[in-house]
Structure 1
Amino acid sequence: MGILHDTTTPAAQPDSDWTANVENVVLRQPFHPSTKGTLCITGHHLIFSDRESQSCRQVLLLLRNIDAIEKSVENLLGNSGLLSSARWKERAPGPSSGTLTIKCKDLCVFQLDIPGMEQCLNIAHSIEALSSMNEVADMYPFFHRPHDASLQDQWGLSSPQHQYHQMEALQRGRWRLSYVNGDHTVCPSYPPTVLVPKAISDEVLLKVARFRQAGRFPVVCYHHRKNGKVIMRSSQPLTGANRKRCQEDELLLQAVIDGSDKGYIIDTRSSQQAQQARMTAGGGVESKSSYPGWTRLHRQMEKGKSLQESLIKVVEACGDQTNNMDRWLSKLENSKWLYHVQTALSTAGLLAECVERDGHSVLVHGSEGTDCTLLISTLAQLIMDPTCRTLEGFLTLLEREWVQGGHPFQQRCARSAHSHARLQQEAPVFLLLLDCAWQLWYQFPLALGFSEDLLLRLATEAYASDYGTFLCNSDRERCAIGVKEKTHCLFQALLKPEERELYSNPLYESTELAIWPSVHPQSLQLWRGFFLRWSQQGRHLEEAHDEMRNMICQWGRAAAQHVIGYAGLWAIYCRVSSVYPPLP
């Protein structure tokens, strides 16, 4: 829950039970004393105004950030406890009070003590309704108007055209821009312009798209500056039980390796899962006989429900107040979250090794190619490419691979770890990416130009944002409702001078070398800045981080290192790292 400085323009009118203002509400939130004030709910925000303190502090919470609400009853007919809304309403004639425990998608948990059961029930009902709006055009990014930005400003950071011109400067004649998806009819989740081998015509691409799930035919997402090899991504081929072939698809992949080389296909499913998809869902894999020169590697990565349940378990472990080390370690291990981090980093390392060390092009896909495929292609580029490790380069990478690349943010980030709703298509794949990026940042503190604060900000914005960057599930959906014309771009906002200073790494030193992460269990850490951000331990970590940043900014990076050395600076930041150790 943060303090914002924008005004709120409601988009939806509440129903007749809605309460606009409630006085004498007590707010209990992490790191602050309990305060009494006025609670107001608008179409998009919960606003608490503390009128008792001299500062007249105002706290605003985007309703979209609310993941779950728990209602408790006090002094109601001599009883107390948790009741359902219907049961609560039946028993609410008395002059009692209630407490709402609000659990946010950014893992913050706070309480509101509201006088009057009827008022409390109305507030709970309003919050539940307004926080679960599904109509994208009614969400707050369409009404957010920051004072220092205009809707006429450039919306994004990059385009396939820019990437193409960079490639052409290094290696002419092998690649081209295709506008075959100009109206999004070939592939709804691809942008209108994509990079493909120059030898492949649009007519061939149309046939390949029909052979790949959801039309996601192989496209170039990365070009290695030194050896000219590429990373391509796609969805699975639709070979089916009859092992159907597509000569155009075979021709496309052969054009990638130019007939004289070999390439690798990294499938983010196990071979058993791929065979099961072939027999039951019409999917499949590229056979060795039909794709000579290509070697298929299977690296199973969990996604969907299992990944979401892992997030729920690790958040539950971090909220355990027993202070029992054995219990904590057991819960953390059972959550398997660090296992998912390890798998993602090791698979991305394999991809980077194929391109960087072995000098071969790689095609990456799983089933749809919108989740784990994007995860490991992004991490591999972070490992290999120094331009992706700057602040602007990292944001450009996220825009290219995740926003333009077709990750369904609206579906995957609909719920977080606290929701009691039944899981549908939620999965914290983007959060897993940010965690892996943090592991790289922790292991190579000089090599990345962005700070942990940036990763924390992105983790929050993906689930609830003032900006339109993470709205919708595809480029076609964004175009249909005018996201780029009617909302502001988060990435542009993060690069403004005042924001850039906060989100830059003051210790950054550019290096042309690849950064190869260690995936040994003892090398992987729980991302305390995110999972423990609302605990006292997390506050200590934040204070240490601020202390180090202020010291460097005050003295200058070179002077600070001269006085106490880099090890001393990093020790300040890591001084609370032993509060919760990694898995043994």
Structure 2
Amino acid sequence: MDFADLITTPMLDGVILHSPFHEPIDGTLCITGHHLILSTRKDNVQELWLLIQAIDSVEKKQISGSVQNGGTIILKCKDFRHLQLDIANTCDYHNVFTSLERLSNLQKPELSYAFFYRPMYTILEDGFTLFRPEMEFAKLIAGDEWRISHINKNYTVCKTYSSVLIVPKCIDDNTLVTAASFREGGRFPVLSYRHDNGAILLRSSQPLVTNNNKRSRADEKILNAILGLNKKGYIIDTRSPNFVSHCKSKGGGTELNGHYSQWKKIFKNLDKLVKCDGSLLDNFSKLIEACSDKSISIDKWLSRLGISNWLTHIQNILSTACLVAQCLDKDGASVLVHGSSGLDATLLVTSIAQVILNPDCRTVRGLQALIEREWLQAGHPFQTRHAKFCYSNSRTKNQQPTFLLFLDCIHQLHNQFPSSFEFTTQLLIIIFENSYYSNFGTFVGDSEFDRQELKISEGTTSLWSYLNRPDVMTNFLNPIYEPNKAAIWPSIAPVSLVLWNELYLRWIIDQKYQKSAMLKVQHLIQQDKDLRSNVIRMRRQLIDLQKELQSLYLEIEEGILDRN
């Protein structure tokens, strides 16, 4: 397909751009296959370069009166920015609207800009190969309990799992295949994390017990192999009992107590995150609508914030993740987490539990590795979930901001433990943006299988390759970071949870003063570090000088004794 066929008016003069915190700009609009560009000849006025994939909704408002009056196009973007284009001529106005509507609704991932982007810098390391399972679990597979399985190398056992899986050494591949047939989508229990005390975190999808109460000895064998003899574990089902009954009537269900006697089952009501019925995105839309309404009173604002249930979802996720973390850390018990498909709520809970327990996940590379393990390699369908966002009228029930919930939960932990994270929340914002629209191929596709089919590693650049460049990463390092090897146990009381102003309100409230203050704080902290470094250096010099003086005194004393 030729992008030129979709663009009716590629260039247009006299377009007026209205954007947050800037005066209107009169300039030339240029539409390419992937970008909307507005430039002007005025000095000190920055050009607008907008990736068309970032546009979630294109709306038009024609000026009443003469057919020559043109109209206004409103662009609502996936980064919460609203842009307005005023176009004087009606024909041009309709042509630009049609072009942007077509380009912002392209369905094929291979048409995204990631396949056309060519970095102008040297790639120092390939982000696509940084966090392979063989490397991430190298210490585990060097022992006697775990091994690498390539049973899914052609993605025939489970299309949403990666080609390399870490499984118990005592479980053969035939058992894995049989167990996969008992779990929805073939997602049999796999290793997610091993805690320092040896407790294991597993994840899977729901068992297909149906109303006939089917069992799978292969599935039971895998789970019992994790525990060993005379040990107990927990199954955290992220669904309510009522929803489990509904799933059972459709062929799913939950583990039967009689066949999993070593496992204690706990139900958590994260149904809205499990159902994928579009309600989560509807909740988020209500939050953003409230954030965008500057005219409402404080009472209405708080009411609409409560109606959105966004912070309630965060509270429920943190509560469940803390429960999992306590089972692993305090009880030393292994845990299996699953909902229905194991693609949304399950990944939220297992990944946040690891941020709570594992200090490595609170570093830059550790966070990248966590996203690779628990989201990309675990088959979270980014292409489907992020096709549309909160402004689009054409969004479907398959679109929901599960991954944004994950990032917001980390933001809550960061807010309560600001010095325990190597990175600032700006890194979370960059990752959020790139998960919805990007120059990079990291989040393209719904699974590793899709990315292999699309040849992502050959035709695109990794986001991690860009972020890990020293000149880029320094912008996201936390100046007050102090490595903390202990677990961080957050408060989940409503009063402890905060709205992510830095993200949701950044185009509503100008944050230049907060940014300026943060830069001053960073400068002062750097000065303090430099001063401490100088003091340490001076102390070392003083110690060296004292040693030289002592040596000199000894030489003088020896010389006096020799004379006598």
Common fold: TM-score over 0.5: yes
Report the secondary structure of 1:76's partner residue.
coil
Report if aligned partners of 2:148, 2:166 keep a CA contact under 8 Å in 1: yes
Matched ranges for 1:75-224 at <5 A: 75-77=64-66, 94-150=67-123, 153-168=126-141, 172-224=143-195
18, 33, 56: which is aligned to 1:67?
A: 56
Bigger Cα Rg: 2
**Corresponding position of 1:275:** 245
Report the secondary structure of 1:491's partner residue.
helix
Q: 1:556 to 1:28 in 2, by over 3 A?
A: farther
**Corresponding position of 1:86:** none
Report the secondary structure of 2:373's partner residue.
helix
Q: 1:16 to 1:288 in 2, by over 3 A?
A: closer
Report the secondary structure of 1:536's partner residue.
coil
Q: Residues of 1 paired with 2:517 and 2:429: CA distance?
A: 16
Q: CA deviation at 1:178?
A: 0.7
**Corresponding position of 2:539:** none
Q: 1:75 to 1:314 in 2, by over 3 A?
A: same
Report the secondary structure of 1:100's partner residue.
strand
Matched ranges for 1:4-403 at <5 A: 12-15=2-5, 18-51=8-41, 53-55=42-44, 57-77=46-66, 94-150=67-123, 153-168=126-141, 172-225=143-196, 227-279=197-249, 281-301=250-270, 302-303=272-273, 304=276, 305-403=278-376
Report the secondary structure of 2:349's partner residue.
helix
Q: Residues of 1 paired with 2:129 and 2:479: CA distance?
A: 25
Q: 1:154 to 1:459 in 2, by over 3 A?
A: closer
Q: Residues of 2 paired with 1:23 and 1:343: CA distance?
A: 51
Matched ranges for 1:407-422 at <5 A: 407-422=380-395
Report if aligned partners of 1:231, 1:362 keep a CA contact under 8 Å in 2: yes
Q: Residues of 2 paired with 1:50 and 1:258: CA distance?
A: 70
The structure that is helix-richer by fraction is 2
Q: Residues of 2 paired with 1:183 and 1:34: CA distance?
A: 54
Letter in 2 for 1:209: A
Q: CA deviation at 1:16?
A: 6.8
Q: CA deviation at 1:555?
A: 4.7
Report if aligned partners of 2:141, 2:148 keep a CA contact under 8 Å in 1: no
Q: Residues of 1 paired with 2:144 and 2:64: CA distance?
A: 77
- Superposed CA offset, 1:48-99 (max 9, x none): 1122x2146321101000011111112434xxxxxxxxxxxxxxxx221211
Is structure 2 residue 497 aligned with structure 1 residue 524?
yes
**Which has the larger displacement, 134-143 or 417-426?**
417-426
Letter in 2 for 1:300: N
**Corresponding position of 1:4:** none
Report if aligned partners of 2:62, 2:70 keep a CA contact under 8 Å in 1: yes
Q: 1:447 to 1:153 in 2, by over 3 A?
A: closer
Give aligned-pair identity as a percent: 40
Q: CA deviation at 1:164?
A: 2.6
**Corresponding position of 2:546:** none
Q: Cα RMSD (Å) of the superposition?
A: 1.8
Is structure 2 residue 464 aligned with structure 1 residue 491?
yes
Q: Residues of 1 paired with 2:231 and 2:21: CA distance?
A: 59
Q: Residues of 2 paired with 1:153 and 1:422: CA distance?
A: 34
Report the secondary structure of 1:421's partner residue.
coil
Q: 1:339 to 1:540 in 2, by over 3 A?
A: farther
Q: 1:117 to 1:552 in 2, by over 3 A?
A: farther
Q: 1:501 to 1:151 in 2, by over 3 A?
A: closer
- Superposed CA offset, 1:315-346 (max 9, x none): 00101111410010000000000000100111
- Superposed CA offset, 1:524-578 (max 9, x none): 0001011101122544443433332343345538769x9xxxxxxxxxxxxxxxx
Q: CA deviation at 1:153?
A: 3.6
Letter in 2 for 1:130: L
Report the secondary structure of 2:368's partner residue.
helix
Report if aligned partners of 1:179, 1:192 keep a CA contact under 8 Å in 2: yes
Q: Residues of 2 paired with 1:164 and 1:559: CA distance?
A: 38
Q: 1:559 to 1:120 in 2, by over 3 A?
A: farther
Q: 1:167 to 1:130 in 2, by over 3 A?
A: same
Report if aligned partners of 1:156, 1:491 keep a CA contact under 8 Å in 2: no
Q: CA deviation at 1:393?
A: 0.6
Letter in 1 for 2:119: P
Which TM-score applies when normalising by structure 1? Answer: 0.88
Q: 1:557 to 1:251 in 2, by over 3 A?
A: farther
Report if aligned partners of 1:151, 1:486 keep a CA contact under 8 Å in 2: no
Q: 1:525 to 1:195 in 2, by over 3 A?
A: same
Which TM-score applies when normalising by structure 2? Answer: 0.91
Q: Residues of 2 paired with 1:311 and 1:544: CA distance?
A: 30
Q: CA deviation at 1:371?
A: 0.6
Q: Residues of 2 paired with 1:124 and 1:456: CA distance?
A: 29
Stretches of structure 2 that go unaligned for 5 or more consecutive residues are: 536-564
Q: CA deviation at 1:166?
A: 2.1
Report if aligned partners of 1:507, 1:557 keep a CA contact under 8 Å in 2: no
Letter in 2 for 1:348: A
Report if aligned partners of 1:12, 1:138 keep a CA contact under 8 Å in 2: no
Report if aligned partners of 2:388, 2:395 keep a CA contact under 8 Å in 1: no
Report if aligned partners of 1:213, 1:367 keep a CA contact under 8 Å in 2: yes
Q: Residues of 1 paired with 2:480 and 2:125: CA distance?
A: 35
Report if aligned partners of 1:156, 1:492 keep a CA contact under 8 Å in 2: no
Report the secondary structure of 2:119's partner residue.
coil
**Corresponding position of 1:91:** none
Is structure 2 residue 397 aligned with structure 1 residue 427?
no
Report the secondary structure of 1:14's partner residue.
helix
421, 425, 440: which is aligned to 1:467?
A: 440
- Superposed CA offset, 1:374-406 (max 9, x none): 111110000001111111111111111111111
Q: CA deviation at 1:159?
A: 1.2
Q: 1:67 to 1:208 in 2, by over 3 A?
A: same
